[in-house]
């Protein structure tokens, strides 16, 4: 895990280029405090701030050259040992023990197709010395960030917004389409857009080539909908466990200590339990944030069930106080670089801080499972609606009744689920999110074309929903916070559920392998039935990363966010903005999440 920055700018002299590059690297020094390296044969400049994880020696420093290519790279290639072995059989020689050198050798052997062989997370830029072009790539799910600005013959890139702000190409003009998506839907990113008009994001699973002043972007990977898993459910469960166990083994590769998040939910418990199973006897630190008080969620009793089953786990707990929230909010917002759409990323920020104070440099986290294994409760709308759309009404009502029994819904909530399922049976994903965009909260944005559209995916209603959770609506934003919160403390966060082999297999399963009779993440629960504590495997409530922020914090340590005239938001409907804030102050919590977004957006814009 590191910070990368660079540019191709024929208008800069050597001393100007050096000053420019160091300014960019200084802005992201927190991403790599262990070493800094540069490569500046103007008009090209490549820079790297290193967080040493694999091959801690100076041999692993970057920029790194291998024959006719130079790389700056952020991430981890977990199968680098296997790739290295294959390349050695082809005659390649290696001077380091790093995964960086393996990427360069893969590039020499396979060219731009090299990324198809990588298992891991990455954002890198390779300068081809022979052909004189820049080859950039981002991992399949966008775990690692890559931003750029292009203007004719000039091209600047970096790991964060802040790396591009020193660029002569940067302009602070906001992208109001993204501001609107953030407010109405909570999305902090979308396709290749950012919060600034000038900054583009390299989308997940895409390569970029900058050559002769032109930028071309090409997708190199996608879910293959033609693959179908074979075997009965028990055989599929065993295969899923094999893939998950292999992902854990690869993600534990590190030359520094690895720890893990442990919320007490299914995902983090699965990771901690598998680590204990695959690496018996090796101490493994876990980190849990909790809150106490009326109406708040304390996950420690659930986390402790995992701790009791696997005594080698070493638990660490933290309860953020009101003073902690007040003192840390500015730092968290600054590192997020976007208006935080809810309070849960603040809790994640404290998890990262807790882990770093205990000497952890690499942390395993459970992002991604909810998205492709149907962990969210609104997944049922698409499952039931899809059955209705196929005229399988008996099966649809069977799933509805099972869902209602499992979650202990009353008639009102059950009716609500039925109506939303009916809606999803008649509308596309694009139409459903458009409806939510315009109706779920009081609509605040300026009149404009709906600022999003969904890529076509050839699957049933449930699979389409899960696909867009992965690549459009949910996961991209969560991975943004994952990266920023971990790097705020110079720490690498790894997400074992996002091994692409595991995701591909999950998408090859039948709907009933994922959700059946009210049971979410069915394949995960059953595949780990002898590894997880029984209570965790059978846990049916979905808490998410529950925090009290949108109500309690805004009325407590962060109440100053509401003491403002909100003039920075003049592009919005100011009457509605002020009405929402005034009613919230009077005790109306119905739109607390929107009030949070308004308050945080206003605070973020004032700091620009």
Average pLDDT of the chain, as a whole number: 95
Query: Is residue 546 pLDDT above 80, yes or no?
Result: no
89-123 core/surface letters (b: 16 or more CB in 10 A; e: else): eeebeeebbbbbbbbbbbbebeeeebbebbbbbbb
**pLDDT tens-digit profile of 415-440?**
999 999 999 999 999 999 999 999 88
d(CA 486, CA 312): 24
Torsion sign, CA atoms 515, 516, 521, 527: negative
pLDDT confidence of residue 545 = 54
pLDDT confidence of residue 540 = 78
d(CA 498, CA 140): 9
Say yes or no: 241 and 302 in one domain: yes
Q: Among 219, 241, 274, where does a domain finish? A: 219
The model's confidence at residue 542, banded by pLDDT at 50, 70 and 90, is low
**pLDDT tens-digit profile of 80-127?**
999 999 999 999 999 999 999 999 999 999 999 999 999 999 999 999
Q: Is 363 helix (H, G, I), strand (E, B) or coil?
A: strand
d(CA 497, CA 344): 20
Say yes or no: 463 and 494 in one domain: no
Say yes or no: 132 and 279 in one domain: no
d(CA 129, CA 45): 13
CB 148 within 8 A of CB 157: yes
**Residue 528 lies inside a defined structural domain of this protein:** no
**pLDDT tens-digit profile of 136-149?**
999 999 999 999 99
Burial classification of residue 217, based on how many CB atoms lie within 10 Å of its CB (0-12 exposed, 13-18 middle, 19 or more buried) = middle
pLDDT confidence of residue 544 = 53
**Residue 120 lies inside a defined structural domain of this protein:** yes
The model's confidence at residue 543, banded by pLDDT at 50, 70 and 90, is low
**Residue 334 lies inside a defined structural domain of this protein:** yes
**Residue 270 lies inside a defined structural domain of this protein:** yes
**Sole residue written with tokens 């501001």:** 179
**pLDDT tens-digit profile of 475-533?**
999 999 999 999 999 999 999 999 999 999 999 999 999 999 999 999 999 999 999 99
Residues 6+ apart with CB under 8 A from 88: 94
Query: How many Cβ atoms are within 10 Å of 464's Cβ, its own excluded?
Result: 18
Q: Among 470, 497, 518, where does a domain finish? A: 470
d(CA 500, CA 514): 17
Which segment of 227-241, 425-439, 532-546 scores lowest on mean pLDDT?
Answer: 532-546
CB 125 within 8 A of CB 136: yes
Tell me how far CA of residue 194 lies from CA of 77, 189, 190, 198, 446, in angstroms: 26, 6, 7, 8, 18
Domain extent at residue 590: 549-606
Say yes or no: 258 and 243 in one domain: yes
Say yes or no: 461 and 478 in one domain: no
Say yes or no: 52 and 164 in one domain: yes
- Segment 352-378 mean pLDDT: 97
**pLDDT tens-digit profile of 264-291?**
899 999 999 999 999 998 999 999 999 9
Q: Is-catalytic flag, 261? A: no
Query: Is residue 406 pLDDT above 70, yes or no?
Result: yes
Q: Residue 84: which CATH number?
A: 3.60.20.10
CB 375 within 8 A of CB 515: no
How many domains is the chain partitioned into structurally?
4
pLDDT confidence of residue 194 = 98
**Residue 519 lies inside a defined structural domain of this protein:** no
> How far is residue 492 CA from its own chain's centroid?
13
CB 75 within 8 A of CB 84: no
Say yes or no: 442 and 487 in one domain: no
Q: Among 455, 484, 509, where does a domain finish? A: 509
Say yes or no: 303 and 445 in one domain: no
Query: Is residue 189 pLDDT above 60, yes or no?
Result: yes
pTM (two decimals): 0.97
């Amino acid at each position: 895990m590191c910070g990368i920055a660079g540019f191709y700018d024929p208008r800069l002299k050597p001393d100007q280029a050096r000053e420019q590059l160091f300014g960019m690297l200084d802005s992201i020094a927190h991403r790599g405090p262990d070493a800094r390296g540069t490569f500046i044969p103007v008009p090209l400049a490549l820079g790297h701030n290193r967080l040493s994880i694999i091959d801690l020696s100076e041999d692993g420093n970057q920029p790194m050259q291998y024959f006719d290519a130079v790389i700056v790279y952020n991430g981890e290639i977990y199968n680098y040992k296997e790739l290295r072995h294959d390349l050695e059989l082809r005659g390649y020689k290696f001077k380091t023990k790093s995964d960086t050198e393996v990427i360069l050798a893969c590039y020499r052997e396979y060219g731009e197709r090299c990324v198809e062989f990588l298992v891991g997370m990455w954002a890198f830029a390779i300068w081809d010395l022979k052909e004189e072009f820049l080859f950039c790539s981002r991992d399949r799910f966008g775990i690692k960030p890559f931003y750029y600005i292009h203007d004719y013959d000039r091209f600047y890139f970096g790991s964060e917004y802040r790396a591009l702000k020193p660029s002569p190409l940067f302009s602070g003009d906001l992208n109001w389409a993204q501001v609107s998506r953030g407010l109405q839907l909570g999305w902090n990113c979308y396709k290749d857009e950012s919060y600034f008009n000038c900054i583009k994001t390299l989308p997940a699973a895409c390569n970029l080539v900058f050559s002769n002043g032109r930028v071309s972007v090409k997708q190199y990977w996608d879910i293959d909908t033609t693959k179908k898993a074979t075997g009965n459910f028990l055989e599929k469960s065993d295969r899923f466990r094999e893939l998950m166990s292999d992902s854990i083994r690869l993600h534990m590769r590190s030359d520094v200590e690895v720890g893990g998040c442990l919320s007490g939910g299914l995902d983090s418990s699965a990771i901690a339990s598998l680590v204990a199973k695959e690496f018996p006897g090796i101490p493994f630190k876990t980190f849990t944030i909790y809150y106490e008080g009326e109406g708040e969620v304390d996950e420690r009793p659930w986390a402790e069930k995992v701790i009791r089953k696997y005594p080698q786990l070493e638990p660490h707990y933290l309860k953020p106080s009101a003073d902690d929230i007040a003192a840390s909010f500015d730092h968290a917002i600054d590192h997020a670089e976007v208006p935080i759409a809810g309070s849960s990323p603040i809790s994640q920020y404290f998890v990262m801080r807790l882990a770093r104070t205990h000497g952890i440099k690499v942390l395993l986290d459970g992002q991604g499972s909810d998205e492709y294994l149907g962990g969210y409760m609104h997944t049922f709308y698409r499952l039931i609606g899809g059955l209705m759309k196929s005229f399988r009404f008996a099966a649809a009502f069977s799933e509805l009744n099972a869902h209602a029994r499992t979650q202990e819904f009353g008639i009102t909530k059950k009716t609500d689920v039925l109506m939303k399922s009916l809606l999803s049976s008649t509308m596309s994903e694009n139409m459903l999110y458009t409806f939510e965009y315009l109706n779920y909260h009081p609509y605040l944005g300026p009149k404009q074309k709906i600022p999003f559209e969904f890529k076509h995916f050839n699957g049933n209603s449930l699979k389409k929903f899960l696909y867009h959770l992965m690549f459009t609506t949910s996961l991209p934003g969560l991975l943004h916070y994952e990266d920023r919160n971990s790097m705020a403390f110079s720490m690498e966060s790894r997400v074992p559920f996002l091994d692409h082999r595991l995701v591909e297999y999950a998408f090859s399963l039948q709907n009933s392998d994922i959700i059946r009779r009210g049971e979410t993440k069915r394949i995960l629960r059953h595949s780990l039935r002898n590894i997880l504590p029984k209570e965790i495997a059978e846990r049916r409530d979905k808490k998410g990363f529950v925090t009290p922020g949108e109500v309690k914090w805004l009325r407590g340590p962060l109440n100053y966010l509401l003491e403002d005239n909100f003039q920075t938001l003049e592009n919005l409907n100011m009457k509605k903005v002020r009405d929402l804030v005034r009613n919230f102050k009077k005790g109306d919590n119905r739109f607390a999440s929107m009030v949070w977004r308004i308050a945080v957006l206003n605070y973020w814009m004032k700091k620009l």
